[in-house]
């Protein structure tokens, strides 16, 4: 009977670790189009590339740029393609974001500063269908 509860105990310890993953947290916020929560983890300056427009923005400006993008492209789902978390100081994620206007490839970089992960780069490009 004790062995019956062992898998439940293991899963209960793993769930917080999965939810607390900053790469997955950013992916979920992007899927929701939640720029308010996303802007809370922006670095003081964020490099944003949307399509062919690349620039470095302040936190507030970056939030406005993403608000505009998400108002024009309503997100509905995402598929995580790649996660790099081997270096705790820099985390990297790539996902395919499905929107009402088509799929986009989103790549982002998080950097640890003073024990806090901040978003320093975000690239959104049209996904090339194979």
Report if residue 6 sits inside a domain.
no
- 76-101 pLDDT, tens digit per residue, is 999 999 999 888 899 999 999 999 99
Report if residue 7 sits inside a domain.
no
Confidence bin at 18 (pLDDT 50/70/90)? very low
DSSP string, the chain: -HHHHHHHHHHHHHHHHHHT-HHHHHHHHHHHT-HHHHHTTEEEEEEEEETTEEEEEEHHHHHHHHHHHHHHS-EEEEEEEEEEEEETTEEEEEEEEEETTEEEEEEEEEEEETTEEEEEEEEEEEPPP-
Report if residue 13 sits inside a domain.
no
Q: Which domain holds residue 87?
A: 22-126
Report if residue 3 sits inside a domain.
no
pTM score > 0.95 for this model? Answer: no
Report if residue 68 sits inside a domain.
yes
Report if residue 17 sits inside a domain.
no
Confidence bin at 128 (pLDDT 50/70/90)? confident
Report if residue 1 sits inside a domain.
no
Domain CATH number, residue 118: 3.10.450.50
If one compares 129 and 58, the residue with the highest pLDDT of the two is 58
The total domain count for the chain is: 1
- 32-62 pLDDT, tens digit per residue, is 999 999 999 999 999 999 988 999 999 999 9
């Amino acid at each position: 009977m004790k062995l019956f509860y062992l898998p439940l105990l293991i899963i209960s310890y793993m769930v917080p670790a999965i939810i607390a993953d900053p790469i997955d947290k950013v992916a979920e916020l992007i899927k929701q189009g939640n720029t308010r929560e996303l802007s809370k983890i922006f670095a003081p300056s964020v490099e944003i590339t949307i399509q062919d427009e690349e620039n470095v923005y302040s936190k507030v400006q970056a939030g406005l740029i993403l608000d505009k993008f998400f108002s024009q492209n309503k997100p509905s789902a995402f598929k995580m393609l790649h996660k790099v978390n081997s270096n705790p100081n820099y985390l990297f994620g790539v996902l395919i974001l499905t929107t009402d206007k088509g799929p986009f490839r989103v790549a982002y970089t998080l950097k640890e500063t003073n024990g806090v992960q901040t978003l320093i780069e975000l690239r959104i490009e049209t996904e090339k269908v194979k």
